Amino acid sequence: MQYAENILGTIGNTPMVKMNALVKDVPALVLAKYETFNPGNSVKDRMALQMIEDAEADGRLQPGGTIIEGTSGNTGMGLALAAIIKGYKMVCVISDKQSKEKMDILRAVGSEVIVCPTDVDPDDPRSYYSTSARLAKETPNSWYVNQYDNPSNAKAHYQSTGPEIWEQTDGKVTHFVVGVGTGGTISGVGKYLKEQNPNVKIWGVDTYGSVFKKYHETGVFDDNEIYSYITEGIGEDILPKNVDFSIIDGFTKVTDKDAAVYTRRLAKEEGMFLGNSAGSAIKGLLQLNAEGKFGPDDVVVVLFHDHGSRYVGKMFNDDWMKEQGFLEKEIHKAIDLIQEHIDKPLITVKTEELVSHAIRRMRKFKISQIPVEDAKGFVGSVDEADLLKAFAENKDIEKSPIKEVMGKPYPVVKKDTPIAEVTKLISNDTDAVLIDLGDGKHHIITKYDMIGAI
């Protein structure tokens, strides 16, 4: 009979899968190291077990102890599985940008989950780095994993992932592409592959808002590079000790939008239901290909970290994608610009109404422009900037009729007017355009609507 003694025995030996649809324009053979086949559905199972075993061996982790770690979710899952089998308590400190699914899964396997704000400096006491370290000091018989600086992280990939890739490609691998977060995967795999063949190229995929690419190219840690980003699992605002920049041949940066879009494309075009960092990885590979990095004799291995089930409320949710502006909208005509609020009535003001009436409507409906009408139709317009200027010149202006402060009427277009024509009408002097919906009904297209269509 063939069976594992427990779930930890199923970690590693993940399959290599040839990619097809998304890489049809890549001259090389592209293979995906498919890490979701690990029991915790991510590559992090490998180093989680290695870190625990090394901590047990040297006495840092004692029987019945508590494991504490700051995690984006996947390392926490790997640690939690090992904690269950080995009899430890598990505390996961996670940032609030991580998916709800990750938090729910960690709780499902018995972990205590503490959520910290994302948009704080690493040394801020509220950050998940600082919170993890503090809890480790306060909790008796505990061990702070610190995957970022823990050498067992890279060691796990040097001993398992790297050798597997070399064996599965029969030593023919020429390029390795992977997203970089803690740095353990790229450094461990990269070290092993370069020891077998120094000509193997190691490419890191970074995200905008992270410091890796610029630091690798210039040696400068630029605080201006750091800002909030959506992509999960890769990029950092610190330099983890596990990132061995000497092994990495170069980085490419992938936007949040491309990462999300390509995560969905992997599922729909390759049948690969993967996590957010996989979208970054394959898009990064395509960017490297566009730079001419790959040739017809090359074998390119891209590593996919985790499973798509942890992102069903984000990248695989159309509403979330729309909120982020990541779903491409079919916008060709004027009517397409107002689909999200076409059901709302057009707010107007009469020529004889007071300026104060217009101000109240702007406040109530949170709008900046209002068409002015009389019995004949639209005869003018008022804008919040114009009203502010008029009020600065005359504090009693709010008692004046709108006709004394109104500007020229907004242009009126038909609902099937091409977007290009609408764009020409909106300028510094014209803040909005009215759209004729028929049957005497009109709506308004503002600069905000135009920006939303970009």
Mind listing the pLDDT tens digit of every residue in the chain (454 residues)?
A: 999 999 999 999 999 999 999 999 999 999 999 999 999 999 999 999 999 999 999 999 999 999 999 887 899 999 999 999 999 999 999 988 888 888 999 999 999 999 998 888 888 889 888 999 899 999 999 999 999 999 999 999 999 999 999 999 999 999 999 999 999 999 999 999 999 999 999 999 999 999 999 999 999 999 999 998 999 989 999 999 999 999 999 999 999 999 999 999 999 999 999 999 999 999 999 999 999 999 999 999 999 999 999 999 999 999 999 889 898 666 778 888 887 778 888 999 999 999 889 888 988 988 888 999 998 899 999 988 878 888 888 878 888 899 988 889 999 999 888 888 888 888 767 888 999 988 888 999 888 887 766 6
Task: Give the residue from 337, 277, 326, 265 showing the smallest Cα distance to 305.
Answer: 277
Q: How many helices (H) and strands (E) are present in the chain, helices listed first? A: 15, 16
Bridge partners, 304 (sequence order)? 34
Same domain, yes or no: 162 and 54: no
Which two structure tokens, joined as six digits, stand for 362?
A: 């702007």
Same domain, yes or no: 55 and 182: no
Same domain, yes or no: 264 and 400: no
Number of domains in the chain: 3
Q: Which of 44, 102, 191, 213 is catalytic?
A: 44
In a domain, 2, yes or no: no
**CATH code: domain of residue 425:** 3.10.580.10
Give the span between the Cα atoms of 171 and 175, in whole angstroms: 11
Angle, helix 74-86 to helix 100-108, in steps of 10 degrees: 0
Give the span between the Cα atoms of 119 and 3, in whole angstroms: 45
Same domain, yes or no: 173 and 284: yes
Give the number of C-alpha atoms closer than 13 A to the C-alpha of residue 427, restricted to the C-beta side: 5
| 3-state secondary structure at position 145 | coil
Bridge partners, 438 (sequence order)? 441
In a domain, 1, yes or no: no
Task: Give the residue from 424, 223, 408 showing the smallest Cα distance to 334.
Answer: 424
Same domain, yes or no: 218 and 245: yes
Task: Give the residue from 73, 113, 110 showing the smallest Cα distance to 91.
Answer: 113
Give the span between the Cα atoms of 289 and 178, in whole angstroms: 14
> What pLDDT score was predicted for residue 431?
82
Give the span between the Cα atoms of 147 and 151, in whole angstroms: 8
In a domain, 21, yes or no: yes
Among 264, 294, 324, where does a domain finish? 324
> What pLDDT score was predicted for residue 330?
67
Residue 294 · residue 301 · CB < 8 Å: no
Give the number of C-alpha atoms closer than 13 A to the C-alpha of residue 442, restricted to the C-beta side: 20
Q: Which phi and psi (to 5°) does residue 301 adopt?
A: -105, 125
Same domain, yes or no: 80 and 160: no
Residue 32 · residue 16 · CB < 8 Å: yes
Q: H or E element: which one contains 176?
A: strand 175-179
In a domain, 149, yes or no: no
> What pLDDT score was predicted for residue 120?
84
Among 144, 177, 210, where does a domain finish? 144
Domain boundaries, position 27: 7-37+154-324
In a domain, 329, yes or no: no
Is 33 in the active site? no
Same domain, yes or no: 177 and 304: yes
In sequence order, the 6+-apart residues with CB closer than 8 A to the CB of 324 are 230, 256, 257, 260
* pTM for the predicted model, two decimal places: 0.79
In a domain, 117, yes or no: yes
Same domain, yes or no: 181 and 285: yes
Among 144, 163, 189, where does a domain finish? 144
In a domain, 319, yes or no: yes
In a domain, 189, yes or no: yes
Handedness of CA 231, 232, 234, 235 (dihedral sign): positive
**CATH code: domain of residue 138:** 3.40.50.1100
Bridge partners, 33 (sequence order)? 16, 303
Same domain, yes or no: 192 and 238: yes
Same domain, yes or no: 254 and 158: yes
Same domain, yes or no: 206 and 287: yes
Give the CA angle between residues 90, 92, 97 to the nearest 5°: 160
Q: In what order do the strands lie in the sheet with 299-304?
A: 16-18, 29-34, 299-304, 175-179, 201-207, 250-254
Same domain, yes or no: 310 and 344: no
